Amino acid sequence: MNRKSAKFYIYFFLIFTLLFVTVSKEVQAAPSVSSQRAILMDQETGRILFEKDAHSQSRIASITKIMTAILAVESGKMDREVTVSSNAAGTEGSSLYLKAGEKIKLEDLVYGLMLRSGNDAAVAIAEFVGGSLDGFVYMMNEKANEIGMKNTHFANPHGLDDHEDHYSTAYDMAVLTRYSMNNDLYKEIAGTKVHTAPNPDEKWDRKWKNKNRLLTELYEYSTGGKTGYTKLAKRTLVSTASKDGEHLIAVTLNGPDDWNDHIGMFEYGFKQFDYKIVLEKGKIKKMDNEVYKNHAYLKRESVLTLTDDEVEEVKVEYKMLKPKQEWLKNQGVPEVVGKAVVYIGDKEVDSLPVFFQSSGEEKKEKSWWKFWAYSFESIIGVRDHG
């Protein structure tokens, strides 16, 4: 072998090694989960950070109770007393051991529902909030449609395997959790480790410890969630976690090692992704058109969940209405004069209306994002014609 050939083979070997290491790192970056179906979603932006068969319909067991809980919280009746029916008291499976005829606050029922997964609490809540089981199930499906759970159908308030048409997806359950976590009371309940409630037949209070071991012992960044299990659904789990201002949601369906699945997904999300402000609220500085300059502004920020590599792929394009001559005098200008479209590569990921302010400065408000998020703008042209 001559010297020229030797150099070629050495060069080829180095390139192959570099490519192999790069590919290996990319493969290792994604979490490995035992669960049949899984998803990791950013709570603030809704971006999917990881998924595994996340849109297939499955039985969901007791994570059903997230919907039951949020409907109870939103009912405005949390301080009302509920009389437990014999139907509720006799519900099979995990139980708070409620007795027919006893009175208990709806708020305590919701704590028992979420922490101890009481099926009797689920039925008592449903009968009280919905007027009947059927009425409450109707409310569950109406709420599911309202918030975009497109592949979900509820048939009961607890998740027991008593109906064939009771199902959801990992993605839909993340959507439900994201919606629910915007409610402060729900968030407080889901993140409670221990709750006590009066016990009418005993000298001591009831004391319920949360079944979510991520919250109580396994993961320091856990902020709440809901466990589930039935013979047909197997282990199901929804959990939330927060670290350094980043908030994530994980869902697993039929996950034999779900605690570690969730920890692995959370660690992946916290390590690989950060919030980036790609457009700031307020006046658009890079607007050269004579009509829009110093008048065009945004009412909200555009915040994305991005890897460091994706930052360079972000582009913002302004699609504006063609200005009319009278607009130069601030006459007859519509409130919305265009939109700012945000892309990652060629994929549109956000769109914000562009507003026109005739005179004066828009009120400047400090954003909590700015205390820790990285801000940047990458603008490719301001087009007069939308």
Q: Which of the residues 52, 65, 143, 234 is marked catalytic?
A: 65
The answer to whether 252 and 35 have CB atoms below 8 angstroms apart is yes
Indicate the average pLDDT of the chain. Answer: 88
Query: What integer is the mean pLDDT of 24-40?
Result: 76
pLDDT (tens digit, 9 = 90+) per residue, 363-376? 444 454 444 444 44
Q: What band does 204 get if pLDDT is binned at 50, 70 and 90? A: confident
Nearest 5°: CA angle at 356, between 352 and 360?
A: 125
pLDDT (tens digit, 9 = 90+) per residue, 135-173? 999 999 999 999 999 999 999 999 999 999 999 999 999
CA 65 to chain centre: 16
CB atoms within 10 A of CB 197: 16
Listed range (216-230, 265-279, 350-364) with the worst mean pLDDT: 350-364
Q: What band does 225 get if pLDDT is binned at 50, 70 and 90? A: very high
Instruction: Provide the whole-model pTM.
Output: 0.82
Indicate the domain borders of the chain: 37-272, 275-383
Q: Which of the residues 94, 117, 180, 222 is marked catalytic?
A: 117
Token pair belonging to 350: 């956000």
- Contacts with 87 (C-beta within 8 Å, 6 or more apart), sequence order: 123, 127
CA nearest neighbour of 71 among 6, 141, 14, 22 = 141
pLDDT (tens digit, 9 = 90+) per residue, 107-146? 999 999 999 999 999 999 999 999 999 999 999 999 999 9
Residue 201 has pLDDT above 80, yes or no: no
Residue 9 has pLDDT above 70, yes or no: no
Query: What integer is the mean pLDDT of 62-82?
Result: 98
Establish whether 62 is a catalytic residue: yes
Q: Which of the residues 35, 58, 62, 168 is marked catalytic?
A: 62
Which residue carries 């049949």 as its tokens? Answer: 36
Establish whether 5 is a catalytic residue: no
pLDDT of residue 235: 98
Q: What band does 3 get if pLDDT is binned at 50, 70 and 90? A: low
Task: Tell me the longest C-alpha to C-alpha distance in the chain.
Answer: 95
Listed range (4-18, 224-238, 285-299, 363-377) with the worst mean pLDDT: 363-377
Establish whether 207 is a catalytic residue: no
The answer to whether 200 and 261 have CB atoms below 8 angstroms apart is no
Fold of 275-383: Spermidine Synthase; Chain: A, domain 2 (2.30.140)
Residue 359 has pLDDT above 70, yes or no: no
Q: At what angle do helices 65-74 and 170-180 cross, to 10 degrees?
A: 30
Class of domain 37-272 as given by CATH: alpha beta
